[in-house]
Amino acid sequence: MILLKKILDVGLRKGFYKEHPVGLLKKLPIEKAKLNYWTVKEFKHFLTLFTNDEYNIKLLFTVLFFTGLRLGEALALTWKDIEFSTNTIHVSKSIYVKKGEEHISSTKTKAGTRRIIMNTKLVETLEEWRQTQHERLKEFTTNLDDLQIFQNSPITITKDSIEKQYKKILQRDSSLKKIRIHDFRHSHASLLINQGEDYLVVKERLGHASITTTIDTYSHLYPSKQQKLADKLDDLL
């Protein structure tokens, strides 16, 4: 492509054409990938697919849906990151995979380090799970608050294990629309938008570095304001 441009540049200088051929080319329109997400109804159906032994994983996906956390951020959480008195999750780190091994590091951007306020029911559910987990694992460790929040055995939970288990759970009902784990973030954003929240709230909860990212990704989910404007103009007549 670079060689072709150089050849055309020479042709322009020698007067073979008046305009640079490259300038006449039109860029192909870039189609945005369609967002895939679940409604609340679809998510509730998903929860019915879990067995009692999978309660901790069920809780993990509930947190993802109602907070917009990335999977790596959720798995990096310990009880020290939860402030129950203010219903707050403090997000400051994430699990990432490098050469097949998992590591914990700080969030990639300043915006990624954030506070997320949880709804009361979710907080109460986490408090109940904390007591259950501590009873179950107290014989294995004295540092219970250093446990992964969703851990239910002495073995830590990995991203790979969650992804494999998620696929198995989805196979239990072929009628349920298939989405990726990352699409739980889109599901949360859709939930916020349907509740009337603006771009800034979505940006803050998802930890986007730029409001542009939020607008580019979710602007089409916002209802058009033109009808409201038309109604206001009618009131002036």
Catalytic residue among 93, 114, 185, 188: 185
Rounded to whole angstroms, the Cα distance separating 51 from 97 reads: 28
CA dihedral for 44, 183, 127, 151, sign (positive or negative): positive
Is 103 one of the catalytic residues? no
From the list 37, 186, 188, 218, the catalytic residue is 218
3-state DSSP of 197-233? CCHHHHHHHHCCCCHHHHHHHHHHHCCCCHHHHHHHH
Q: Is residue 185 annotated as a catalytic residue, yes or no?
A: yes
To the query of whether residue 199 is one of the catalytic residues in this protein, the response is no
For this structure, is 218 an active site residue? yes
Tokens of 231: 């109604």
Q: For residue 83, report the phi and psi dihedrals to the nearest 5 degrees.
A: -110, 95
Residue type, 50: F
- Which listed residue (5, 182, 222, 228) is catalytic? 182
Q: Is 208 annotated in the active site?
A: yes
Q: In whole angstroms, what is the distance from residue 207 CA to residue 90 CA?
A: 12
Catalytic site residue from 5, 108, 167, 178: 108
Is residue 172 part of the annotated active site? The answer reads no
Active-site residue identified among 58, 70, 93, 188? 70
Q: At a CB cut-off of 8 Å and minimum separation 6, what does 142 contact?
A: none
Q: Which residues are catalytic?
A: 70, 108, 182, 185, 208, 218
